[in-house]
Amino acid sequence: MTSTDEIMPGLQTLDGPVGPDAPATPDPTFASDNTAGVSPEVLEAIARANGGAAVPYGDDPVTARLEQVVRDQFGPSAEIFPVFNGTGANVVSLQALLPRWGAAICARQAHVNTDEGAAPERLGALKLLARPTPEGKLTPADVEAELGAQGFVHAAQPLAVTLTQSTELGSLYSPAEIAAVADRAHAAGLGVHMDGARLANAAAALGVSLREVTIDVGVDVLSLGGTKNGALAAEAVVVLDPTRVRGTDYIRKYSMQLASKQRFVSAQLLELFGTDLWRSNAEHANAQARLLGERLATLEGIDLPAPAQVNAVFPKMPATVVEELQSRYLFHVWDTAPDGDPVVRLMCSFQTTEAQIDEFVDHARAALTARLPDAR
């Protein structure tokens, strides 16, 4: 694959001929885990929360139960602030972690840097210090490289690190890797934020608890993802170290992320994280991605540089095959390999079925046979 500087974010398509029986509307199944619906258990939890009246803005019994679950999961000092979306969670978290003159070190490929529509800068009024990384993962050396600006009045001050788990490249930080970055950050007086939009997938893949990849390894504030794992517009800011993170409740309000009928957001998070639903949904998505990757890798002409670690697959395939498949499916062209072939991103979710995988692989096989006569 090419350097990560050449990654093409966004839904890209390749112009070219399409099959005569291509559907009028391409199937979005593998475009993103955001294309999935809502877990039936979560819908039932919303319905249960719909009975009777409740005090608004988080002073309701459902939110109170969620707060206790979060303390059970992350420790007695943990505080949760439900929000509407991942962008809101990241912007609120970073504002709460940083003073007005502060900057956050991130990977150049981090979602907070490439896909938030400049929300951290425009709404959070903070600067991101983006580092080039081969796997979308920061290291202690990346933290060290930015520390020279500390105390220099002409530079935004590096006072936080933000990690994406799992990363935009489908890679994982091990607990030891997170701890190493956090230790170096804390030693220099920096706070540590984690964008955990897919934290459930990461923890499931690593076979650990949510705590083992967050507070136990030095994360101070967490953007806890729910939507990609079966919720409906439900994310949260989880403050793990209140001594480093202040004013989150006020920041959430002025950032337009405080729900009046918060019980319906809290009910979803309670159902996910108060049970094993978060893990079972994530394990299914991860397993389906591995299956999709394994079956595509059996086709001559399609290469899989590495097995799927979480719920994202990045196969390399001929441009003509991508053109044919994109007449049937929505998915991202993510990168370009050294030989010029596209590298695509295919996502699986808690709803992805084996039949859907078989159908996609069958179409890929047919495209290879039709356009690459030697493929078999």
Over residues 51-73, the mean pLDDT reads 96
Residues 264 and 132 reside in one and the same domain: yes
Residue 19 clears pLDDT 60, i.e. is over it:
no
Residues 190 and 292 reside in one and the same domain: no
Residues 166 and 60 reside in one and the same domain: yes
User: Is residue 257, in this structure, part of any structural domain at all?
Assistant: yes
User: Is residue 376, in this structure, part of any structural domain at all?
Assistant: no
Q: Judge contact between 95 and 252, C-beta under 8 A.
A: no
CATH of residue 334's domain is 3.90.1150.10
Over residues 57-82, the mean pLDDT reads 97
Domain tally, the chain: 2
User: What is the span of the domain harbouring residue 352?
Assistant: 4-30+278-371
Q: Judge contact between 213 and 310, C-beta under 8 A.
A: no
What's the pLDDT at 22? 59
Q: Judge contact between 49 and 82, C-beta under 8 A.
A: no
User: Is residue 80, in this structure, part of any structural domain at all?
Assistant: yes
The last residue of a domain, from among 275, 309, 324: 275
User: Is residue 35, in this structure, part of any structural domain at all?
Assistant: no
Q: Judge contact between 238 and 201, C-beta under 8 A.
A: no
Hey, how many other C-beta atoms are within 10 angstroms of the C-beta on 145?
A: 14
The residue among 239, 251, 164, 178 whose CA lies nearest residue 212 is 178
Residues 244 and 361 reside in one and the same domain: no
Hey, how many other C-beta atoms are within 10 angstroms of the C-beta on 76?
A: 6
With H, G, I as helix, E, B as strand and everything else as coil, classify residue 248: helix
Residues 98 and 47 reside in one and the same domain: yes
Residues 257 and 347 reside in one and the same domain: no
- Whether the link from the prior residue into 32 is cis, omega within 30° of 0, is no
Q: Strand pairing partners for 71?
A: none
- Tell me what the pLDDT averaged over the chain comes to: 92
Over residues 327-335, the mean pLDDT reads 95
What's the pLDDT at 23? 64
Dist CA 285 CA 35 (whole Å): 13
Which residue do the tokens 């719909």 mark? 50
End-to-end CA distance of the chain: 24
User: Is residue 185, in this structure, part of any structural domain at all?
Assistant: yes
The last residue of a domain, from among 243, 275, 307: 275
What's the pLDDT at 134? 87
Residue 371 clears pLDDT 90, i.e. is over it:
no
Residues 86 and 160 reside in one and the same domain: yes
Q: Strand pairing partners for 224?
A: 196, 236
User: Is residue 120, in this structure, part of any structural domain at all?
Assistant: yes
- The model's confidence at residue 370, banded by pLDDT at 50, 70 and 90, is confident
Q: pLDDT tens across 154-198, in order?
A: 999 999 999 999 999 999 999 999 999 999 999 999 999 999 999
What's the pLDDT at 373? 54
Dist CA 111 CA 59 (whole Å): 32
User: Is residue 348, in this structure, part of any structural domain at all?
Assistant: yes
Dist CA 26 CA 142 (whole Å): 41
CATH of residue 102's domain is 3.40.640.10
pLDDT over 70, % of the chain: 92
Residue 5 clears pLDDT 60, i.e. is over it:
no
The last residue of a domain, from among 255, 275, 295: 275
Dist CA 306 CA 185 (whole Å): 30
Residues 260 and 305 reside in one and the same domain: no
Over residues 352-371, the mean pLDDT reads 95
- The model carries a pTM of 0.91
Residue 375 clears pLDDT 80, i.e. is over it:
no
Residues 258 and 204 reside in one and the same domain: yes
Residues 98 and 150 reside in one and the same domain: yes
Per-residue DSSP letter, 161: E
Residues 285 and 269 reside in one and the same domain: no
List the structure tokens of 363.
């179409």
Residues 339 and 284 reside in one and the same domain: yes
User: Is residue 180, in this structure, part of any structural domain at all?
Assistant: yes
pLDDT over 90, % of the chain: 90
Q: pLDDT tens across 263-305, in order?
A: 999 999 999 999 999 999 999 999 999 999 999 999 999 999 8
Q: Judge contact between 343 and 10, C-beta under 8 A.
A: no
